[in-house]
Amino acid sequence: MEYLVAVVEERSFTRAAETLNVTQSALSHQIKALEREVGGALLERLPRGVGLTPMGRAFLPHAELAVRSAGLARRAAKAAAGAEGGELHIATLHALAIGALPPVLARWRRVFPDVRLHLREYLTTDELRDHVDRGVADIAIGPRPERWAGPVVSLGTEEIMIVVSRDDPLAGRTRPVHLAELADRAWVRCVLEPVIGGRRWLDRECERYGFRPVTAMEVQHASTAVRLAVAGVGILACSVEVARATAGAVAVPVEPAWRQELTAYARVELTGAALRFVEACREDRRATGAPAPHVGGPAAAHPAPRVSGPAVALAAPAR
C-alpha cells in the first residue's frame, strides 16, 4: 500500500521508485500484486502521468490511513526507548509555529540533536485536529480540542494583546486598554482566530461590550496580520509571542487579561520523545510566566504578566 500511495503522490512510477529507493520494475510488480489481491485495477496511465481508477479512488483513503498508522506504530516503538534517536512528527498552527514554539524547538535541538523533528503547520484548528486524527503527525500543539478521544495535556497559556503601530495613540499607553475603548477602531482579522461555540472569538468578546468589530482587512497568516498592524492598517489581537517576532510591533495589554490555553494532544499514549517534547513545552510556558492551569481550574484564573504595565514595544529580541 505504501507503494500505491507513493505513485499517487508523485503521479509517476519513475519518481515514486526514486522516492522509495526501489527499481521501477519492483514497484510495478508490487502494484500488480496488490491489484490482483483486491480484484481490479487501481491505477491507470494518463497522458500527463498516472491516475486512479474508480476502484483506486475508493481504495486510496484506507491505504493512506494504513500507511500513516504503520509509520506511527514504528515511531511509537522507537520512542518507547526514549528520545535518544529517531524522529518526531509535530502538527501545529501557523501562529504557534512563528510564536510560542521556536524557543522550544531550538532548545530541543541542542539537547536531543539525534531526534529529527518534522513540523507541519495548519491554518485552522479544524485542519490541525483532522490531520492528527488521520495519523499525519504524532502529536498536535494547539488550543484544547473539543471531545478528543486521546490524551490531552495542558501546557500552559499564551497571553493575547493588542498590537498597534509605533505612532498609534495606544503605543504610549501607560495602562492596559479596556475592550470597550476600541469600539471605533478598525481591526486586522485573521482566519486563524479561534472559533468558540460556532462564533469567532473576537466577535464574541466585542459583543460582550456592545459593539461589533470593524474589519479593516482580513488575511490568512498571523505573520501577515501582525505586519499589517505594525504598518497601521488596523489594530490586531494576537499572542505576545507572535508580536515579539516582528520588529516595530507594540503590544498593549488588555483589561481584563486575555489568555488562551495551549495543549498537546495525540491519538495514543504519549511516550518517549513525544512525552519529553510535551515536558519541554510545559517548561517553556512556566519560564514565560504562563503556566498550565490548575487541575480542574480555568486558564483565566492565572493573572497575566504586565497587566498593569505600559504598552510594550517589541523588537524581536531573542529568548
pLDDT score of 148: 93
Q: Hey, is 164 helix, strand or coil? A: strand
Q: Would you give the distance in Å from CA 77 to the centre of its chain?
A: 25
How many CB atoms neighbour CB 164 within 10 A? 25
Q: Could you tell me the fold of the domain covering 158-259+304-314?
A: D-Maltodextrin-Binding Protein; domain 2 (3.40.190)
pLDDT score of 166: 93
Contact criterion met (CB below 8 Å) for 251 and 162:
yes
pLDDT score of 309: 36
Tens digit of each residue's pLDDT (9 = 90 or more) over 291-309: 544 322 233 333 332 222 3
Contact criterion met (CB below 8 Å) for 265 and 139:
yes
pLDDT score of 290: 60
DSSP 8-state symbol, 309? S
How many CB atoms neighbour CB 92 within 10 A? 23
CATH architecture of 2-78: Orthogonal Bundle (1.10)
Q: Are strands 139-142 and 86-93 parallel, antiparallel or unpaired?
A: parallel
Q: How far is CA 270 from CA 56, 80, 264, in A?
A: 34, 9, 10
Contact criterion met (CB below 8 Å) for 256 and 161:
no
Residue 169: which residues within 8 A CB-CB, separation 6 or more?
Answer: none
Tens digit of each residue's pLDDT (9 = 90 or more) over 242-260: 888 888 899 999 998 888 8
pLDDT score of 210: 92
Contact criterion met (CB below 8 Å) for 126 and 80:
no
Q: Closest Cα to residue 12, out of 45, 48, 49, 39?
A: 49
pLDDT score of 79: 57
d(CA 14, CA 172): 61
Q: Closest Cα to residue 93, out of 119, 74, 111, 72?
A: 119
CATH architecture of 86-157+260-298: 3-Layer(aba) Sandwich (3.40)
Question: Could you state, in order of their start, the residue ranges of all structural domains in the chain?
Answer: 2-78, 86-157+260-298, 158-259+304-314
Q: Hey, is 7 helix, strand or coil? A: helix
Q: Would you give the distance in Å from CA 228 to the centre of its chain?
A: 21
The one-letter code for the residue type at 202 is L
pLDDT score of 75: 61
Contact criterion met (CB below 8 Å) for 132 and 266:
yes
User: Do the two domains 86-157+260-298 and 158-259+304-314 of this chain adopt the same fold?
Assistant: yes
Total residues belonging to the chain:
319
pLDDT score of 178: 94
pTM over 0.75: no
H-state helical runs in the chain: 2-10, 13-20, 24-38, 54-79, 94-98, 101-111, 125-133, 201-207, 222-231, 240-244, 272-287
pLDDT of the chain, 319 residues: tens digit per residue: 888 888 888 888 888 888 888 888 888 888 888 888 888 888 888 877 888 888 888 888 888 777 766 766 666 666 555 544 578 899 999 889 989 999 999 999 999 888 889 999 998 888 899 888 888 888 999 999 988 999 999 999 988 999 999 999 999 888 999 999 999 999 999 876 766 656 688 898 899 999 999 999 999 888 899 999 999 999 999 888 888 888 889 999 999 888 889 999 998 888 888 899 999 999 999 887 665 443 222 333 333 322 223 444 443 333 3
pLDDT score of 82: 52
d(CA 183, CA 238): 17
